[in-house]
Amino acid sequence: MPGPVTVFAAKKIITMDASVGEATHVAVRDGIILEVGDLDDCAAWGPCTLDERFADSILIPGLIESHAHLLDGLLWAKAHYVGPIDRPDPSGRLQKGLTDNDALIARLKEIEATMSDPTKPLVGWGVDPSLNDPIAPITRHELDQVSKTRPIFLLHASCHVGSVNSATLEMANYAAIRVPGVLRDASGAPTGELREMAAMLIAVKAVAADMIGGSTDAAQFYNFARVAQARGATTIVDGGGSTYFDPAFLASALAATEAEDFPARIVAHNNGITVPGVDDMIKFAKGLDGKGNDKLAFQGIKIILDGSNQGFTGRLRPPAYLGSGENGLWNRAPDELRTLVPALHKAGLQIVAHCNADQAAELFIEAVALAQAAHPRFDHRHFIVHGQMLDESLLRRMASLGIHATLFSNHLYYWGEFHRAHTFGAFRAAALNPAATALRLGVMVSAHSDTPVSPVDPLFTLWCAANRVTATGRVLGPQERVSAYDALRMMTFNAAYLLHRDHEIGSIRVGKRADFTILARDPLTVDPMTIRDIPVQATVVGGRVFPVG
Amino acid sequence: MAEQIPVAVIGGYLGAGKTTLLNRLLSEAQGVKLAVLVNDFGSVNIDAALIAGRDGETISLVNGCVCCSIGDNLGLALHDLAERSDGPDRILIEASGVADPARIADYAGSHPRLALDSIVVVADPETVRMRARDKYVGDLVRLQLAGADLIVLSRTDIVDAETCRAVRLWIETEVPGARLALSPDLDHGRMFTSWTLASELPLDGTALRAALATLPTEIVRAKGIVRLLEAPDRRFVLQVAGGRWSLDAEDKDVDPLTKTRSVIVCIGLTGQLDPARLDCHFAGVARTVGPADLVELLRRGASPPREPHP
């Protein structure tokens, strides 16, 4: 028997639907949209409950975070956020950024004072000396001011560096470790800065072992969804490293997401990252097909081609990195990719390819061309993740092969100045994440945060794509700015399209799921520079209201 | 140091011949418990007759060797091996075809029970020059070769002599001072020969440094713990890998009059390492001094300023 009808009233409903653009009321039953129009239109479905709590607000399709990592949820569960960027935590409280070492030490002291067991390690995450003012390393000298006896481990935002205190160095026996990434002072003593996993590993094992190795902690799923929901997301992608093919992990994920009050939908990519063989990749992906629930689905298989641009491990076309002319690292061999991509394509999977720099994208495009020549497939919707250095030529080839992209627009703000000065130089920095060109050429693009790399905040990501402003206020590549409407479409319909879910979510249309984001102001009419400041008041997922705060 | 398990990294681009080499080392190991860490069991294709059993991520061989899958964390897999009670005598890591073997080698220092032995990079003589020009991987192939302590040319038994000669010339130009070996010459166990210098007396540091700076290129690796006349209250750790060497004082004091033997072991390719030549090369290092001279030297030899850490 059909359930009761609820009609949500809004000051304005922005549908993002191609045929009907605006409305004031939307009728919902059993999680599905029945009607979109005015109150009378909705009343055609019979008796209803009129919900007017959003009557003075703007109702838009639920925002979609098209690339993020579950690790964000695990970090919130296992460690204290102590980074320089403001982030709301899973309880909805804003954790203010700590932008210098004094503030960091003061906060760590506060945390330390609340810990009763004196041997329990203090683990933190999100620190980033490059965003601090002044830029200063975080060494054992700073951390020893917090405690000389309790082990401290801080994972940097890049996830490639750790800072530890003397207690951790001693406990993990760093005197016996000979790794170049263990930075040392003039006397040969470790400074407490550990660069790359080889250097960090023994400290992680000693004090933060539960951060590695496929934790099944249920809190990670809730935290991951909740932090995104607090910034207006109704669907969030878990971008590929998780081990859902492991029955224990899957059981934990299903149990967590089945809860009525689970606050967002998760679309998880299958794991083509840590599963080594192509046969297993396909087997695991097919095995998970349809295994999800209303709030957990599996879509696409994620593979990684290169590293990170700001970490100097992206694969660039000539002239490669600014100044040095050096290049980054492949994650998989190009020759392997020329067989892997066609194999996944032939198996009917959607390929989600991490290509940070342009040579990685070029190779992926080449591999898809091989795949299409051998086994033509329509509407596969393979897409590139990050695609930061795509240009018109690559985008035209993508359009002709049916490849789309989610761009890392947040980079323009957080690392735009860094890219201009240290990685790419002026021209290539101005051309980063070319959303306007992509849309003009018919490539469906979305944009993402890659949390925990940058905070999940779809309105902020939208703002980045529309304004292309760096942290110091410079506009990078004004030609590639997109309109607020296009930016909103990137974060809704286009993202849904990439996830093969545009028939279900991504716009407000009769028959689709009732996933909405409620905003205090209209993102299409305010000054685009103020979009990121629009308060998110609530989200609605399948007709259920999830308040913010 | 005696407790440490030597770790070698086998690198080289896809198709260079890494797994063939590993397979051979595994199947021919005699009396040496090798542990081989590989990216993918599927590609190793171990002879079924050799397999004693499989337990999750580990395949045990009848000759006592094991082959382990790296899984998604090389460091953890390596530490797991280091901490086993029945640990291996040696560990070989198969670096992925696109890895920088020098970065993989960093992991050898990440556990107190492990020590880097050498970085071996395998190259296919028929394709290596083409790979080195490839727009996608050329820089990487050259980076791998440059970081090698030893470059092994694979398949030299089936590639024509002219190609082999040309490739050797090319590598010598591309990587000056490279140590080269041809795979058919490689026989496990007899692949390397060692030469040892042992002395009851402290060594002459100046002569030792001079000898290290001019080491014959057939030495792939050398290590040692020595005492020097210039600082008799310290032990020094000697490491040589490829063309690089270091001689670092240990932190702790030792009684100048305690007898500690100085030992240096040099490892080179069998057939290339010439013991007589090394005897000459290190001739001035172990000085022959009478007891009275020694006491005088020890008395004069107050601790010198410590060498800065590299």
Please compute the mean of the pLDDT values over residues B272-297 and round it to a whole number: 71
Dist CA A297 CA A268 (whole Å): 6
pLDDT (0 to 100) of residue B257: 64
Give the lowest-confidence range in A101-105, A442-446, B71-75. B71-75
Token readout for A224 is 């991951």
Chain Cα centroid distance, residue B20: 19
Dist CA B187 CA B170 (whole Å): 25
Q: Do B75 and A197 touch (CB under 8 A)?
A: yes
pLDDT (0 to 100) of residue B309: 42
Q: Do B112 and A177 touch (CB under 8 A)?
A: yes
Comparing C-alpha atoms, which of A245, A320, A312, A311 is closest to residue A283?
A245
- Looking up tokens 């909103």 gives A488
Dist CA A202 CA A213 (whole Å): 14
- SS3 per-residue string spanning A453-521: CCCCCHHHHHHHHHHCECCCCCECCHHHCCCHHHHHHHHHHHHHHHCCCCCCCCCCCCCCECCEEEECC
Q: Do B73 and A212 touch (CB under 8 A)?
A: yes
Please compute the mean of the pLDDT values over residues A277-284 and round it to a whole number: 94
Cβ contacts of A290 within 8 Å, gap of 6 or more: none
Give the lowest-confidence range in A31-35, B79-83, B92-96, B228-232. B228-232
Dist CA A450 CA A328 (whole Å): 20
Asked if A133 is an interface residue toward chain B (Cβ–Cβ < 8 A), one would say no
| DSSP-assigned letter for residue A132 | S
Q: Residue B66: how many CB atoms within 10 A of its CB?
A: 21
Please compute the mean of the pLDDT values over residues B117-123 and round it to a whole number: 91
Q: Do A181 and B106 touch (CB under 8 A)?
A: yes
Q: E strands within A239-318?
A: 265-271, 296-304
Chain Cα centroid distance, residue A378: 28
d(CA A21, nearest CA chain B) in Å: 46
The vertex-B102 CA angle with B98 and B104, nearest 5°, equals 70
pLDDT (0 to 100) of residue B275: 85
Q: Do B107 and A327 touch (CB under 8 A)?
A: no
The vertex-A126 CA angle with A122 and A130, nearest 5°, equals 125
Asked if A173 is an interface residue toward chain B (Cβ–Cβ < 8 A), one would say yes
Q: Do A198 and B14 touch (CB under 8 A)?
A: no
From the list B40, B107, B309, the residue facing A188 with the nearest CB is: B309
Share of chain B above pLDDT 70, in %: 85
Comparing C-alpha atoms, which of A524, A536, A520 is closest to residue A55?
A520
Give residue-wise pLDDT tens across range A109-139: 999 999 999 999 999 999 988 788 788 899 9
* More confident call, B193 vs A189: A189
Comparing C-alpha atoms, which of A339, A344, A354, A332 is closest to residue A408?
A354
- Judged against a pLDDT cut of 70, whether residue B186 lies above it is answered with no
Q: How confident is the model at residue B187 (pLDDT cuts 50, 70, 90)?
A: very low
pLDDT (0 to 100) of residue A113: 96
Dist CA A87 CA A97 (whole Å): 7
Please compute the mean of the pLDDT values over residues B84-100 and round it to a whole number: 90
pLDDT (0 to 100) of residue A349: 98
Best of B111, B131, B307 to substitute, by most chain A Cβ atoms within 10 angstroms, is B111
Dist CA A410 CA A157 (whole Å): 14
The vertex-B80 CA angle with B77 and B81, nearest 5°, equals 95
- Looking up tokens 């600014």 gives A322
Query: What is the identity of the amino acid at B286?
Result: A
Asked if A276 is an interface residue toward chain B (Cβ–Cβ < 8 A), one would say yes
Token readout for A150 is 């309790």
Best of A187, A302, A330 to substitute, by most chain B Cβ atoms within 10 angstroms, is A330
In CATH, what number does B5-185 get? 3.40.50.300
Domain boundaries, chain B: 5-185, 192-300
Please compute the mean of the pLDDT values over residues A20-29 and round it to a whole number: 97
Give the lowest-confidence range in A113-127, A189-203, B79-93, B278-292. B278-292
Average pLDDT across chain A, whole number: 95
Q: Which of chain A's residues have a Cβ under 8 Å away from the Cβ of B106?
A: 179-181, 196, 198-199
Q: How far is CA A35 from CA A508, A509, A516, in A?
A: 9, 8, 14
d(CA A340, nearest CA chain B) in Å: 14
Domains, chain A, ordered by start = 80-207 (3.10.310.70), 276-504 (3.20.20.140)
Q: How confident is the model at residue B4 (pLDDT cuts 50, 70, 90)?
A: confident
From the list B72, B75, B134, the residue facing A201 with the nearest CB is: B75
Please compute the mean of the pLDDT values over residues A347-361 and round it to a whole number: 98
Comparing C-alpha atoms, which of A232, A294, A235 is closest to residue A260?
A294
Dist CA B220 CA B213 (whole Å): 14
- Judged against a pLDDT cut of 90, whether residue A531 lies above it is answered with yes
Q: Residue A545: how many CB atoms within 10 A of its CB?
A: 15
* More confident call, A456 vs B161: A456
pLDDT (0 to 100) of residue A518: 98
Dist CA A504 CA B33 (whole Å): 58
Token readout for B274 is 């010439």
* Closest-CA residue of chain A to B79: A202
Please compute the mean of the pLDDT values over residues B134-141 and round it to a whole number: 95
Best of B37, B81, B110, B131 to substitute, by most chain A Cβ atoms within 10 angstroms, is B110
CB of A239 closer than 8 Å to CB of A67: yes
- Judged against a pLDDT cut of 60, whether residue A217 lies above it is answered with yes
Token readout for A289 is 């097909």
pLDDT (0 to 100) of residue B93: 94
Give the lowest-confidence range in A282-291, A328-337, A425-434, B296-305. B296-305
Comparing C-alpha atoms, which of A1, A62, A22, A24 is closest to residue A545?
A62
Comparing C-alpha atoms, which of A380, A451, A355, A482 is closest to residue A81?
A451
Q: How far is CA A127 from CA A79, A145, A317, A457, A499, in A?
A: 12, 17, 31, 19, 32
Give residue-wise pLDDT tens across range A234-254: 999 999 889 999 999 999 999
Token readout for B29 is 């190991």
| DSSP-assigned letter for residue B203 | B
CB of A8 closer than 8 Å to CB of A540: yes
- Judged against a pLDDT cut of 80, whether residue A15 lies above it is answered with yes
Chain Cα centroid distance, residue A65: 6
Q: H helices within A231-333, ranges in order?
A: 247-258, 278-288
Q: Which of chain B's residues have a Cβ under 8 Å away from the Cβ of A184?
A: 309
Facing residues of B119 across strands?
B9
Dist CA A542 CA A522 (whole Å): 23
Dist CA A435 CA A439 (whole Å): 6
Query: What is the identity of the amino acid at B16?
Result: A
Asked if A181 is an interface residue toward chain B (Cβ–Cβ < 8 A), one would say yes
CB of A4 closer than 8 Å to CB of A49: yes
Dist CA B23 CA B16 (whole Å): 14
- Judged against a pLDDT cut of 90, whether residue B50 lies above it is answered with no
Q: How confident is the model at residue B258 (pLDDT cuts 50, 70, 90)?
A: low
CB of A143 closer than 8 Å to CB of A154: yes
Share of chain A above pLDDT 90, in %: 89
pLDDT (0 to 100) of residue A451: 94
Query: What is the identity of the amino acid at B224?
Result: G
Dist CA A338 CA B277 (whole Å): 50
Dist CA B153 CA A549 (whole Å): 64
Helices A334-346 and A278-288, packing angle to 10 deg: 30
- Looking up tokens 């007017």 gives A52
Dist CA B74 CA B96 (whole Å): 11
Comparing C-alpha atoms, which of A284, A261, A260 is closest to residue A271?
A284
* More confident call, B199 vs A118: A118
Asked if A334 is an interface residue toward chain B (Cβ–Cβ < 8 A), one would say yes
* H or E element at residue A50: strand A48-51
Please compute the mean of the pLDDT values over residues A317-340 and round it to a whole number: 94
pLDDT (0 to 100) of residue B297: 47
pLDDT (0 to 100) of residue A43: 96
Q: Do A181 and B39 touch (CB under 8 A)?
A: no
Please compute the mean of the pLDDT values over residues B83-105 and round it to a whole number: 91
Residues in chain B: 310
Give the N- to C-terminal CA distance of chain B in Å, as an integer.
20
Q: Do B72 and A274 touch (CB under 8 A)?
A: yes
Q: Which CATH architecture has domain B192-300?
A: 2-Layer Sandwich (3.30)
Best of A171, A179, A200, A321 to substitute, by most chain B Cβ atoms within 10 angstroms, is A179
* More confident call, B6 vs A431: A431
Dist CA A194 CA B75 (whole Å): 15
Give the lowest-confidence range in A522-536, B83-97, B113-127, B221-235. B221-235
Please compute the mean of the pLDDT values over residues A497-513 and round it to a whole number: 98
Please compute the mean of the pLDDT values over residues A477-499 and round it to a whole number: 98
pLDDT (0 to 100) of residue B279: 87
Token readout for A273 is 């990252």
Q: How confident is the model at residue B287 (pLDDT cuts 50, 70, 90)?
A: low
Q: How confident is the model at residue A410 (pLDDT cuts 50, 70, 90)?
A: very high
Q: How confident is the model at residue A209 (pLDDT cuts 50, 70, 90)?
A: confident
